[in-house]
Amino acid sequence: MRLILLFAGLLGLLTAQASEIDQAAAISALQQSDSLLIDVRSAEEFADGALPGAIRIGHEDIAAQIASVAPDKDRPLVLYCRSGRRSALAQQSLEQMGYSRVINAGAYDDLRPLLENRE
């Protein structure tokens, strides 16, 4: 019985962390004037380089800080991090809070050239 509970818990954890990366939707959303680009990496990573116009809110702080920058829960929010894992966690938190237009753009290094090609 313990093994079943452990397996169910691990499966739930993996499911909770899984969020599809959708860079096409992210690029499209960023073309809207009301969209917000959020970097959920650490302050050190952000200082080493960030996407133009991005604001930093660490994934662990997103639930506590999002209302100060995006009180409208229908505003398009585009999230990115180093690999897509932390942005997936942040996306899940925001969706649980009722934010309806949250997009996981995935990795900074993958998204940067796509945005540069747009300019």
In the chain, the number of structural domains is 1
pLDDT tops 60 at residue 82: yes
CATH number of the domain where residue 100 is located: 3.40.250.10
Instruction: Tell me the average pLDDT across 12-29.
Output: 74
Under a CB-based contact definition with an 8 Å cutoff, are residues 75 and 36 in contact? Answer: yes
Above 90 in pLDDT, residue 65? yes
pLDDT at 7 over 80: no
pLDDT over 50 at 86, yes or no = yes
Whole domain around residue 114: which residue ranges? 2-118
CA distances from 72 to 13, 24, 27, 68, 86 (A): 29, 23, 20, 10, 22
Q: Annotated active-site positions, please? A: 81
